[in-house]
Structure 1
Amino acid sequence: MMKKDKAVVVFSGGQDSTTCLFWALERFAEVEAVTFDYNQRHQSEITCAKKITEELGVKHHILDMSLLHQLAPNALTRDEIDVEDGENGDLPSTFVPGRNLLFMSFAGVLAHQIKAKHLITGVSETDFSGYPDCTDMFMKSLNVTLNLSMEKDFTIHTPLMWLNKEETWELADQLEAFEFIRENTLTCYNGIIADGCGECPACKLRKRGLDDYLKHRKEMDNDVWL
């Protein structure tokens, strides 16, 4: 059924959203990607997203969300704010208030315009750093809100919602996109493509998941030869 449908992927050029892009390309007849320019810390994110969509032949929309930069100063929009994990119950300095609410709302408007029924985003409640707008409850609530606001029957898909980073790498491998995602995506808060700086929280999370998956894959390969 979904093979006949059209989908919009919320796309940053990072590991998670690129995995979701490959996931969508396998399932839907037509797939378009949307990237939001909110004056994020590294414009290389936009460049990376452009390059990936061009290589995969996916129509790519870039929407101006610069107001978010003005309203929500944080480590992803201000060079002078350090990237830090949350302490004592506080959210990390990388949390952008309202980001996923706005992104998914505008993705819904785009989907309405291009007659797409499905919206895909790479949020995860397993490895979500405590962000409240990455939870399953929030996404389900937002799905209802979007449908009511436009009298449409959108479906928000969150393929990574219950996967940790190891399992996300495994999914990429199953989609035959493991090497592509490892070499071409930008997850690093310091703007370094592929394995990144190795020091920021995003790089550490990505590497830990990668190491765990490579170890697991090696064990599985060894079992096959026993």
Structure 2
Amino acid sequence: MTEKAVVIYSGGMDSFTILNKAHREGLEIYALTFDYGQKHSKEIEFARNVCAELNINHRIIDITAINQLISNSSLTSDVEIPEGHYADDNMKSTMVPNRNMILLSLAIGYAVDIGASKVYYGAHSGDHSIYPDCRPE
């Protein structure tokens, strides 16, 4: 029996890398894509297409309700997304507080429900200066 793994897959390059790692390991993948109202929603379509092409079980989960509580990010509000390097101070407006931990919590619950022994997500280590939930600790 093939080992099951849940992969948080946004459709962006970090999660694409981890999805392919799990795929190469021969795991039975259950990919989760979260719609939290992000402006870069075109990644959701990329995720859908990649999972279809690789024949990976894929679910897109609407969690836009979190914006009733977390609404100050330029990724999810009317505030314009700044340009620049992630280390630049102006990029702090792109932080969605505790986003990765929220996604991980949902993915772990799903893993327990389906009997998956692993949960994968790809965080860009270079984002650690503005995103606390991308730091190793």
TM-score bracket, shorter-length normalisation: 0.7 to 0.9
Q: CA RMSD in A?
A: 1.9
For normalisation by structure 2, the TM-score amounts to 0.86
Larger radius of gyration: 1
* Secondary structure class of the residue paired with 1:18: helix
1:26 to partner: Cα distance: 1.2
Does 2:80 correspond to 1:81?
Answer: yes
- Cα distance in 2 for partners of 1:9, 1:122 equals 9
CA distance in 1, matches of 2:54, 2:107: 20
* Structure 1 residue ranges without an equivalent (≥5): 138-226
Q: Structure 1 residue 42: deviation in Å?
A: 3.2
**Which of 6, 10, 15 is equivalent to 1:8?**
6
Q: What residue number does 2:107 align with? A: 107
The answer on whether the counterparts of 2:82 and 2:91 sit within 8 Å (CA) in structure 1 is no
Counting only pairs closer than 5 Å after superposition, residues 101-140 of structure 1 correspond to structure 2 as 101-125=101-125, 127-130=126-129, 131-137=131-137
How much does 1:48 deviate?
1.6
- Give the Å deviation of 1:45: 2.1
Instruction: Tell me the residue number matched to 1:222.
Output: none
Residue of structure 2 equivalent to 1:206 = none
Amino acid corresponding to residue 65 of structure 1 in structure 2 = I
What SS does the aligned partner of 2:113 have? helix
* Higher fraction of strand: 2
State the SS of the aligned residue for 1:39: coil
Q: Gaps (5+ residues) in structure 2?
A: none
Give the direction of change, closer, same or farther, for the CA distance of 1:44–1:124 in structure 2 (3 Å limit).
closer
Q: CA deviation at 1:4?
A: 3.8
CA distance in 2, matches of 1:43, 1:118: 26
Deviation track 1:67-115 (CA, whole Å, cap 9, x = no partner) reads: 222322211112433325542xx76211110101100000001111111
1:11 alignment partner AA: Y
Structure with bigger helix share is 1
Partner Cα distance (1:123, 1:29) in 2:
20
**SS of residue paired to 1:24:** helix
The higher relative CO (CA closer than 8 Å, separation ≥ 6) is in: 2
Q: What is the Cα deviation at residue 19 of structure 1?
A: 0.9
CA contact (8 A) 1:7 1:28 kept: no
Task: Output the CA distance in 2 between the equivalents of 1:28 and 1:55.
Answer: 16
Q: 2:35 aligns with which of 34, 37, 46?
A: 37
Deviations, residues 158-188 of structure 1 (Å, cap 9, x unaligned): xxxxxxxxxxxxxxxxxxxxxxxxxxxxxxx
Report if aligned partners of 2:111, 2:119 keep a CA contact under 8 Å in 1.
Answer: yes
Scaled by the length of structure 1, the TM-score of the pair is 0.54
Sequence identity percentage: 38
- Deviation >6 Å, runs of 4+: none
* Contact 1:68/1:99 (<8 A) preserved: no
Deviations, residues 175-218 of structure 1 (Å, cap 9, x unaligned)? xxxxxxxxxxxxxxxxxxxxxxxxxxxxxxxxxxxxxxxxxxxx
1:79–1:51 Cα change, 3 Å: farther
**Conserved? CA contact 1:34–1:62, under 8 Å:** yes
